[in-house]
Structure 1
Amino acid sequence: MRKGVVVPTVVSALLSATPIAALAQTSFTLYGAVDNAIAYTSNQKGKSNVYLKSGSLESSKFGFKGSEDLGGGNQAFFRLESGFNVNNGAMSDAGYIFSRLAYVGVNNDRYGSLTLGRQYTPYLLYVGALGAAPALTGATGAHPGDIDQLDVDSRASNAVTYTSPNIAGLQVSTLYALGGVAGDFPSGNTFSTALKYNYNQLALAVGYLKVTNNDTPGKFSTNATGTFDQSPINAGYVSAHAVQYLAAAANYTFGPLLVGLNYANVQYQPDAGSLFHDTAVFNNYGAIATYLVNPAISLAAGYSYTRASSANGVTDPARFHQFSFEQTYSLSKRSTIYFLEAYQHATGQTLGPAGAGDIVNSVAMVGRISNSTPSSGSSQFVGMVGFRHRF
């Protein structure tokens, strides 16, 4: 099906339906998760620390979702989701009620779905779901600094997404988020497309994501439609004109055992307003394994290797080795006790916040938990014990 006729076909199919109020079926669900853990970090800017960490196995959140059967194979649906910190009650993003998700959409069984609003990118939903995301929490299991955006924060505002129906295990999804800058249509926009294929025990996915800066010299604008995790790994490249991600993942299930591989290429692309001059490239290679001991106990392990390119005056590029582990015990369908452990070792150099010329030694920062509290040196260990309750 040609891209140019997909949306009109979906819309015309939906408009042709004749909903009958007396027969319409509706649903409404309040859902969420409350998650908290006691964490130990061996090195936070030079000192060890013991603290409480909200949202370690799963983000603490609440949300509303609903749907209505419009007849003729058509459905209307919506979703609103907000994150919060269990330890102080604060919203995850100050000033935003539903910062995680806020969208409305229509679906046709034959032609697919169209959604409008703040949404996850297809890149994350398809490739991230086969990488570390389902097996290893973003707190400690995300690839260093979430450099490849395969953790749970890859979202886009002002977005329009078309998702095809599942055809013999193959599904495609494409998102475009409008930057909203008058006279400069491409500024601040986000584009993502991905496909996935499932065949028996095999699952494959490939995805593309590009987040464009809102032409804010010297930094990445908070008004850009797409999210962009920042850490000491990419501190020298936050003035990029655009960040481009290309990733692939594959999983295979052998009874209770699942094994998987993933790869991501990340490029920070400069322009005249950037504080660096050469495109910076990071390649990330990952492997995961999960094992279901019994219906209540599951184990997971992962390894990732991240390497930067030689550019912008850096001749000994940054390299990161990370090992992550997870053990969960389900007390019920809703309540889970968990243990998380991760170790990272960093070598080489990267750019500091000042950009070109500001060459600094790489420091370790496990997963995403240490983006704002990196190690003062090359190694860092994080261990957690926590409890999650879903509703």
Structure 2
Amino acid sequence: MKKILMWSALGLASSGAAHAQSSVTVFGVMDLGIQSTNGVGGGSVKALSNGGLSTSRLGFRGTEDLGGGLQAGFWLEGSLNPDTGTGRASNTNNQTSGAGVAGPLTFDRMSYVSLSHATLGEVRLGRDFIPTHYNSIYFDPFNANGVARAGNLTFAGPGTGPLPTAITGSNTVSYWLPPQLGGFYGMAMVGSGENLSTAANRDDGNFAGARVGFAAGAFDLAAAYTRTHYDTTSTIGNYAHANIGGSWDAGFARFFALYNKVTVRLAAGTVRKNTAEIGAHIPAFEVGRIRVSYAYLDDRSDENLRNANGVPRDRDDARQLGIGYVHILSKRTALYGTYARLMNSGQARYVVSGGVAPAGGARSSGWEFGVRHLF
């Protein structure tokens, strides 16, 4: 990483300027690989993949010491598509109407300013990951990336794709507990859809959530909940996501578990999807680790919600197996390979990340080999 140190004036007075030390860090990730995916009944594709181990990104972050334990800070971080030289789309209002398209760099991951104190905690204003997604990152053996990520199942809303607030939220205010609380940590967040008060959907995109956890020694455990308001239609409605996850470092392996519960209240009934995942990181060859996971999605939607062929949607379950290996070449560079096999039942059409949607109830699979470099 490249760090740029500078001096910044805080204010001017007739007697002169008051100064405090500031720092800005430029950082990023480049992660590209070769990927092959197959959706039975839907086709296959070979491509240059992106973010199989870590999301490719470019970021800027900085802090300023204000004295008395108080710090000001900022964070700007945008996803990259280095295979095409573009940035990823963001969302301006936590609704489908605010969705952008891939193109110029956007700070779609994080974009906030903050004030923090060692004993009082931190307040952030801007765009950030929602509380439940932090559990997806920390308690998925594949860190929510690549063909074997748990998000192939856990990100699903009414369909197989995520709703606008499944991963990140715009127009947010969040509070983070201070770091030294005997292992306890947590945060709370609210976000706004910023609709006119006279609009019929004035509350759409408004959400609130929280995450609390405890980490000590080899154990880390956290629970989170986020709820977003959407006016009820045939395709969207109030969306709630709750999850609990944990990890345990047993020395010979690090074990992970993650359980997610998603509900979306549609006009015709309520979509309910429960997903459980277990997995592990197993050290190998002194400079590498094997990653394995198994995930199962149990669809418990209302009986009156049906597929196009009349079969109840509560039969649309799915299972996913993932295995991979990461070989550390240096502190900055790693090679990796991953294979995932996703088995659908009923008329489910869940798909491995970057893949082609299969026919209803058919299998999706994929492999990728790549290189990740941090800077």
So what's the TM-score if we normalise by structure 1?
A: 0.78
- Of the three residues 147, 152, 155, the one matched with 1:147 is 155
Q: CA deviation at 1:258?
A: 0.6
Measure the CA separation in 1 of the matches of 2:137 and 2:84: 30
Cα shift at 1:257: 1.1
d(CA) in 2 for partners of 1:325, 1:248: 23
> In structure 1, what is the Cα distance between the partners aligned to 2:106 and 2:38?
35
* TM-superposition CA deviations, 1:127-168 (whole Å, max 9, x none): 223321665634422243443679x97111000000111311
Distance 2:77 2:372 in 1: 18
Which residue number corresponds to residue 195 of structure 2? 181
**Alpha-carbon distance in structure 2 between the residues aligned to 1:144 and 1:60:** 18
Which structure: greater strand fraction?
2
Name the structure 2 match of 1:369: 354
Which range moved further: 97-106 or 308-317? 308-317
- The alignment partner of 2:81 has SS state of coil
Q: For 1:129, what is the secondary structure of its paired residue?
A: helix
Name structure 1 gaps, 5 residues minimum.
Answer: 1-19, 219-238, 349-360
- Partner Cα distance (1:251, 1:334) in 2: 24
Structure 2, unpaired ranges of 5+: 1-16, 90-101, 157-161, 307-311
Percent sequence identity over aligned pairs? 26
Could you tell me which amino acid in structure 2 is paired with residue 380 of structure 1? S
> Structure 1 residues 293, 189: CA separation in 2 closer, same or farther (over 3 Å shift)?
same
CA RMSD of aligned residues (A): 2.4
**For residue 172 of structure 1, what is the amino acid of its counterpart?**
G
2:344 matched to which residue of 1? Answer: 346
Q: Is 2:303 the counterpart of 1:303?
A: no
Find out whether 1:208 has 2:200 as its counterpart. no
Are 1:66 and 2:62 counterparts? Answer: yes
Note the C-alpha offset of 1:388.
1.0
CA distance in 2 between partners of 1:97 and 1:246 (Å): 28
Question: How far apart are 1:251 and its partner, in Å?
Answer: 1.1
- C-alpha displacement at 1:36, in angstroms? 0.9
| Counterparts in 2 of 1:97 and 1:240: CA distance versus 1, 3 Å | same
The CA distance in 2 between the partners of 1:146 and 1:80, in whole Å, is 26
Look up the match of 2:112.
103
1:384 matched to 2:375? The reply is no
Q: How much has 1:280 moved relative to structure 2?
A: 1.1
The residue number in structure 2 matching 1:334 is 332
Write the letter of the residue equivalent to 1:147: F
Alpha-carbon shift at residue 346 of structure 1 (Å): 0.7
Call closer, same or farther: CA 1:49–1:369 in 2, change over 3 Å.
closer
Q: Would the alpha carbon gap of residues 267 and 216 (structure 1) be closer, same or farther in structure 2, given more than 3 Å must change?
A: closer
Q: Which residue of structure 2 lines up, in the alignment, with residue 278 of structure 1?
A: 269
Deviation at 1:56, TM superposition (A): 1.7
What pairs up with 1:182-331 in 2 under 5 angstroms? Answer: 182-183=196-197, 186-213=203-230, 215=231, 239-270=235-266, 274=267, 277-293=268-284, 296-311=287-302, 312-314=304-306, 315=312, 317-331=315-329
Contact 2:141 2:291 in 1 (8 A): no
Task: Report how far residue 313 of structure 1 moved.
Answer: 3.8
Contact 1:136 1:302 in 2 (8 A): no
**In the superposition, relative to structure 1, how do residues 254 and 141 fare at CA in structure 2: closer, same or farther (>3 Å)?**
same
Mark the CA change 1:192 to 1:264 in structure 2 (over 3 Å): closer, same or farther: same
Distance in 1 separating the partners of 2:320 and 2:142: 17
AA of the residue aligned to 2:190? Y
For each residue in 1:300-329, what CA deviation from the matched residue of structure 2 results, as whole angstroms up to 9, or x when unmatched?
Answer: 100000011142344352111100112011
1:88–1:279 CA distance, 2 compared to 1 (3 A): same
The whole-number CA distance in structure 2 between the counterparts of 1:109 and 1:389 is: 32
Shift of the alpha carbon at 1:45?
A: 5.1
Rate the CA distance shift 1:180–1:216 in 2: closer, same or farther, 3 A.
farther
Q: 1:389 corresponds to which letter in structure 2?
A: H
Residue 65 of structure 2 corresponds to residue 81 of structure 1? no
